[in-house]
Amino acid sequence: MVESEKPVREIRINPIVPSESVLVATARSMRPKKAEAPAPRDTRAHVDTCPFCVGNEHMTPPSIGAYPEGAPWQLRIVENLYPVLGDERENPNLTFGLQQTIDGYGRHEVMIDHNQHGIAVHEMSEEHLALLFSTYRVRMEQLYQSNPRLRYVLVFKNFGPAAGASIAHTHSQFIATPVVPANVQDEVENSRLYYEKNHRCIFCTLIDEALTFEATLYDRESGEIRRKLDVGQFVIERGKKFIAIKPFASRYEWEVHILPLAHQSDFLATTPDDLADLARILRRSMARLDAVLGGAQYNYFLHSVPHAPAYVGCDASYHWHLEICPRTSIPTGFELGSGLFVNTVSPEAAAAKLRAVVLD
Ligand SMILES: [Zn+2]
Ligand SMILES: [Zn+2]
Ligand SMILES: [Zn+2]
């Protein structure tokens, strides 16, 4: 029996954010949730009534940009029709006692990711994916420069009804906020503490561990071999500049993270060469997920070092990455109440399945 087939029941501590630990429980009796077959995603190339489709440009809110410039658009950025954050209000709410608020100031924009309505990421060309990510970079930079109060620009994509995408046409979103989201803040803070103690970036350490093929754990007292780990088992894809990893303590069954192999804290520092390799690794990882899941519906989001004076010292300790979280189940009361996610597929078995997909 190979390691990945043994039943697993253990709490795994997320090395970056320990409060985001996960209960990996693969025995059938431990399954707290059953994934219903999600509503199928819309795969049509063009939909007459879709505001994001070619020919319907007049149906979207004002256009912020279309790319590439001077050619039929492949990507468009528009204002969000229902922004969750907006312009500065003249009379901020008064606060009372424990009821403290922060003004909902910020920017919320939508990027139409492709001129074909229902195209999936793994079906896009690598040239297009490189353009997509370079446009993320350009717009993030513009948003940061537009107002020094904006301290974080979150870029994310919801794909498929199971992932909460309200418009079927493939798109991403930018949300620029005056506060750094708690998830990012936790990652930044914990990696800074790790750096102070170990003088190394924790993400670089994780990558090194993932690339070490085998490790043997010995019993401290007797010196006997306790466990042989095939550490390379978490690698999904490895490119010249990027790596796709199945995190050891994944909250979601099919969660995959993509990181630059060389240390880099800020996504805005990526070069065209970087993005070409990122496009390849992303396309291949998404093709693997799509094949294993029979059509992946997911959220992905970029985590990069925040742009604010307080974060200037985090360049050595923080390492940007893309988190891809396919949605195969909905959180249960146990998960919401405890904050402990339950993962019923062991990350090593999931990685083995993803790696086994034959790509052309
Ligand atoms: Zn459309
Ligand atoms: Zn690093
Ligand atoms: Zn992250």
3 pLDDT higher than 80: no
For the chain, how are helix, strand and coil distributed in percent, rounded to 5?
30, 20, 45
Which SS3 state, helix, strand or coil, does residue 55 take? Answer: coil
Amino acid of residue 56: N
Reported as a pLDDT band with limits 50, 70 and 90, residue 4 is: very low
Angle at 151 between CA 147 and CA 155, to 5 degrees: 100
Least distant ligand from the CA of 317: 2
Least distant ligand from the CA of 316: 2
345 alpha-carbon distance from chain centroid: 19
The predicted-structure confidence for 51-105, as pLDDT tens digits, reads as follows 999 999 999 888 899 998 878 999 999 998 777 777 766 555 666 676 766 677 7
Strand order through the sheet with 242-245: 63-67, 75-79, 107-112, 171-177, 152-159, 298-303, 321-326, 256-260, 242-245, 235-238
2 pLDDT higher than 50: no
Amino acid of residue 188: V
The predicted-structure confidence for 121-172, as pLDDT tens digits, reads as follows 999 999 999 999 999 999 999 999 999 889 999 999 999 888 888 889 999 9
Å from CA of 110 to ligand 3 middle: 21
| Contacts (Cβ under 8 Å, ≥6 apart) of 358 | none
Å from CA of 250 to ligand 1 middle: 33
Residues with C-beta atoms within 5 A of ion ligand 1: 47, 50, 52-53, 117, 169
Å from CA of 49 to ligand 1 middle: 8
Å from CA of 299 to ligand 2 middle: 24
Spatial distance between the Cα atoms of 113 and 133, rounded to a whole number of angstroms: 10
Å from CA of 183 to ligand 2 middle: 18
Spatial distance between the Cα atoms of 325 and 291, rounded to a whole number of angstroms: 15
Q: Is there a contact between 2 and 321 (Cβ–Cβ < 8 Å)?
A: no
